[in-house]
Structure 1
Amino acid sequence: MDQNNTILGTGISGPGNPVYGSELAKISIVESASLALTEALLNSDISQELKLNDICAGIGLAGVNLPHVYDEMIKWQSPFKSIYLTTDIHIACLGAHEGHDGAVLISGTGTCGLSNVKNHSKIIGGHGFPQGDKGSGAWYGLNAVEAVLLALDEMAPPTTISKYMCQVLKASTAEEIISKVAGKPASFFACLANTVFSALEDKDEVALAIIDEGASYISKMARLLLKTTPPRISFIGGLAEWIIPYLDQDIQKQLSSSLFPPEAGAVFYARHQTASLK
């Protein structure tokens, strides 16, 4: 990004969660940064001599709220001039509000909420799947599987989620479904969330109950964050546009559009940290 916040180059690489492999995360960070720099050099009049070791990098990662993960990553002998490390939710909040104070709700594979006001942060959720992440894609997917299995066992009302679930998994019995879902990660269950929203179009009451439960959780999270009086609050993530219509009406009215994507928040964070050292 340039000083006018114009994005000059982007780069996408592999997994970047150090909890599941710090070495792979480091490789992904370097690869994505290299791709972004290459594109930026092609799209601007920046000196072609610019290298990664000339750059102060803002890095937002899941898992660095855990002390041992943060310590491992901050000691990294990276190819950058310097690194400024924070959480993925923090850079998402900075991106949503162009580097200024605000709050953000996220519903993607997982869920989390953060408010950053006058250098004080409040984090809600982000505890991971399956012990947390209510209202997330993974949570919706897991609840869909549970609803389908209960329906097949005639222990709960039938639901059209079953039709969509069986199509996605190419399964028709409880045993076949279990064989497909047992031991799968959060990302797998998140891919099943769409079965709930598809069933909602059929006016399926089971699907509506699941969606309402997740949306109620997000609304409650928003109320807690709003108590910190953030100037703005945004709702982002792959499921946000699906869930917004089911949030409490007063919460819907207070939502503001995200101004920049999360990765831009990493740039804002690096700028803040660099300026604070001067």
Structure 2
Amino acid sequence: MWFIGVDGGGSKCRALISDEKGRTLGVGLGGPANPLHGYEQAVASVMSAIRDALHDAGLERRALTESIACLGLAGVNLPSLRQRMLAWQHPFAGLHLVTDLHIACRAAHDGGDGAVIISGTGSCGVAVVGDTETIFGAHGFPMGDKGSGAWLGLEALRYYLLADDGFVERGALYKAFQQHFQTDDALAIIEVMAGKGSSAYAALAKLVFNSAEQHDEHAIAMLKDGANYLDQLADKLLRCGPPRLTMVGGLTECWQPWLRADIAAQLEPALIAPEAAAAKLAHAQAHKRSA
């Protein structure tokens, strides 16, 4: 029996295959895996990451029929998406479906109590203390996800369009947009971004951080706004009484210098990788099934 763990977010997903003794056999990487922004894309990304992990482990595809998989995916906190993913005709012997934030919290504290702030493509906060799980955010882009890469990218695009029309000053961030898209035509940029999902907007976030380093006042204002939200999110999580607080996601290192000093000082590193936590959960589910 093999155990597959998948951590799937808005920009990429990672898979890990382990054996009965918990030893990692192979790892793999796939694309965006949030079914809110495309069910078919999410399934394809999950399977791509798992195929990579199979290849890395030296296992044949038929090993999937002898595997228990745990998928931690963004978006499956929404009931309709959860039901659709559960209806998937998957190739595994068994499937356990949870949210990516549940996996992130288990990974951050290796299954113990604690709280985690997530800021990657999306954003949210979760605290697990005893039998109580408390979630803040996780509303999805563009309605929510303040302090995330996608939110920051959308704020930056809105600024660019205002600056292009002369409503606000054209600073380093304005120039960074033109260099990134290789055009000074605002309509051409709109055409590129029209209909794009959260990962495309998240790809613009680094332009804001880079422009802030060049003292762009609009970039700095965006980062202060996002950091203030993340500070408040941390405050709410800490009021739940968790023994540890961790921040994870692709923008963690970028945000930390912008956080309040007392919040930054309390952040502790994640103990294991999310996909490893998912594989552990798959192993635990297998033992429950056989009990």
State the TM-score bracket (shorter-chain normalisation).
Answer: 0.7 to 0.9
Which residue in 2 is equivalent to 1:232? 244
- For residue 198 of structure 1, what is the amino acid of its counterpart? N
Q: Is the 8 A contact 1:94 1:268 kept in 2?
A: no
Alpha-carbon distance between aligned partners in 1 of 2:206 and 2:105, rounded to the nearest angstrom? 26
Alpha-carbon distance in structure 2 between the residues aligned to 1:49 and 1:28: 16
TM-score of the superposition, structure 2-length normalised?
Answer: 0.84
- Consecutive unaligned residues in structure 1, runs of 5 or more: 43-47
**Greater Cα offset, 77-86 or 4-13:** 4-13
**Which of 185, 197, 216 is matched with 1:204 structurally?**
216
- 1:153 corresponding residue in structure 2: 165
With over 3 angstroms needed to count, the CA separation of the structure-2 counterparts of 1:27 and 1:143, relative to structure 1, is closer
- What fraction of aligned residue pairs are identical, expressed as a percent? 44
Hey, what's the Cα distance between the residues in 2 that align with 1:22 and 1:183? 16
After superposing on structure 2, the runs of 4+ consecutive aligned residues of structure 1 that deviate more than 4 Å are 2-6
Q: Secondary structure at the match of 1:165?
A: helix
**Which shows bigger deviation, 192-201 or 263-272?**
263-272
Q: Match of 2:276?
A: 264
1:239 CA drift (Å): 1.0
For residues 119 and 268 of structure 1, what CA distance do their matches in structure 2 show? 19
Choose the corresponding residue for 2:156, options 139, 144, 163: 144
1:184 matched to 2:193? no
What corresponds to 1:218 in structure 2?
A: 230
Report 1:74-89 matches (<5 A).
74-89=86-101
Say if 2:245 and 2:266, in contact at 8 Å, map to a contact too.
yes
Conserved? CA contact 2:51–2:61, under 8 Å: no
* Cα separation, 2, equivalents of 1:50 and 1:174: 50
- Aligned residues of 2:109 and 2:244 also touching (Cα < 8 A): yes
Alignment equivalent of 2:257, drawn from 245, 252, 259: 245
How many residues in Structure 1 have an aligned counterpart in Structure 2?
A: 273
Q: Which amino acid is the alignment partner of residue 11 of structure 1?
A: G
> What is the Cα deviation at residue 5 of structure 1?
5.1
Distance change >3 Å, CA 24–CA 159, structure 1 → 2: closer
CA distance in structure 1 between the partners assigned to 2:142 and 2:260 by the alignment: 25
1:1-20 correspondence to structure 2 within 5 Å: 1-2=18-19, 6-20=23-37
Deviation string 1:107-139 (CA, Å, 9 cap, x unpaired) is 111111111222321111121111111111111
Which 10-residue stretch deviates more, 7-16 or 55-64? 7-16
What is the aligned partner in structure 1 of residue 125 from structure 2?
A: 113
Shift of 1:21: 4.0
Q: Runs of 5+ in structure 2 lacking a partner?
A: 1-17
State yes or no: 1:93 paired with 2:105: yes
Alignment of 1:161-176 (within 5 A): 161-176=173-188
Q: Supply the RMSD in Å over aligned alpha carbons.
A: 2.4
Give the structure with the larger strand fraction: 2
Query: What CA distance in whole angstroms lies between the structure 1 residues aligned with 2:240 and 2:172?
Result: 41
- The equivalent residue for 1:45 is none
Q: Please report how far the alpha carbon of residue 85 of structure 1 lies from its aligned counterpart in structure 2 after TM superposition.
A: 0.8
Distance 1:248 1:275, change over 3 A: farther
CA separation in 1, counterparts of 2:186 and 2:58?
A: 54
> Which residue is 2:135 aligned to?
123
* Structure 2 equivalent of residue 133 of structure 1: 145
How far residue 164 of structure 1 moved from its aligned partner, in angstroms, is: 0.7
SS of the residue aligned with 2:117?
A: strand
CA contact (8 A) 2:118 2:249 kept: yes
Q: 1:110 to 1:24 in 2, by over 3 A?
A: closer
Per the TM alignment, residue 276 of structure 1 is displaced from its structure 2 partner at its CA by 4.3
Match of 1:33 among 33, 50, 53: 50
